[in-house]
Structure 1
């Protein structure tokens, strides 16, 4: 319940910031509106998102709805028949859930490579037997019994890490990995 309330607060703050931008940048160009959204609204929805990442459909929808409203504002297209997905594609805005996944995997990769003080090798057990479904740096996923841990950073990151191809896992530079 605590996290659900937190997600609502994050979405409410982002909506307030978007409202401020809408009121003050109404007549500006698409580029300025885009920059304002990326500078003022999106960071508030992504701050520490690798840790508090929402996992229920309604929580994800709450955050994605803010971005969809922002896309309509930036493109200045409010027709109900127009596709917001096409607007977001044109603006080159990936879904926030995709950005959170990339952030989570980047954090895990940094921890794996020793760039963060998270002792991944001591917290997790490597897969001892190689199968065609995993790579050489795969870990046994934790088996949590509670949803609060099941959808937390470490279990989600491990399952996503294990699904990456060997060529991606072989990248040791954090910037190159994120790209």
Structure 2
């Protein structure tokens, strides 16, 4: 710009979301988990009576928002990134004393929680529904390719062939 060279950076932070040059969400996952773990530690240190209801409500209102902030923009697809986020929820469910030695899936069932991966998938489906039904205004020709099948309903999406992992795990397709 004006004959001044621009710096090259590895990461850019925009609206509290860190975007890496490779577009992998690993650094964002680590930062979100670190912040959520700090809050979870504060909850653990400050409570003497740890009832299920109190732990679940504090987790839902104080911790989980950090794990899911702008998740549609940086949704993790690598197993290591998914595990980093899920580990925070595992730790939160262990705060309930009577469930400490129960396996993770059973703790989720007892506390009426779902895994973060399932929540992300559900959020993606809700967002897609909103786009297809005109609740969120979006140019469909740029983002989604509809399948031109003759049977069934008209809202079938065509799955594109992609070469990069970044695009493989996204439901939108750009030309």
- TM-score clears 0.5: yes
Distance across 1 between alignment mates of 2:154 and 2:113: 33
Distance across 2 between alignment mates of 1:61 and 1:135: 36
Instruction: Give ranges in structure 2 of 5+ residues lacking alignment.
Output: 1-9, 11-19
Q: From the two aligned structures, give the one with the greater strand fraction.
A: 2
Higher relative contact order (CA 8 A, sep 6+): 1
Q: TM-score, normalising length from structure 2?
A: 0.77
1:105 match: 125
Q: TM-score, normalising length from structure 1?
A: 0.76
1:13 match: 35
Pairing 1:128–2:148 present = yes
The range that moved more, 52-61 or 146-155, is 146-155
Larger Rg: 2
Distance across 2 between alignment mates of 1:109 and 1:78: 38
4+ long deviations beyond 4 Å: none
1:124 shift after superposition: 2.9
Match runs of 1:1-179 below 5 Å = 2=20, 3-79=25-101, 82-130=102-150, 135-154=153-172
In structure 2, relative to structure 1, the CA distance for the partners of 1:57 and 1:26 (3 Å cut) is farther
1:48 shift after superposition: 1.4
Instruction: Give ranges in structure 1 of 5+ residues lacking alignment.
Output: 156-179
Q: From the two aligned structures, give the one with the greater helix fraction.
A: 1
CA-atom RMSD, angstroms? 2.0
The range that moved more, 143-152 or 42-51, is 143-152
Distance across 2 between alignment mates of 1:28 and 1:70: 11
Deviations 1:15-48 (A, max 9, x none): 1111111111232422111110010001111111
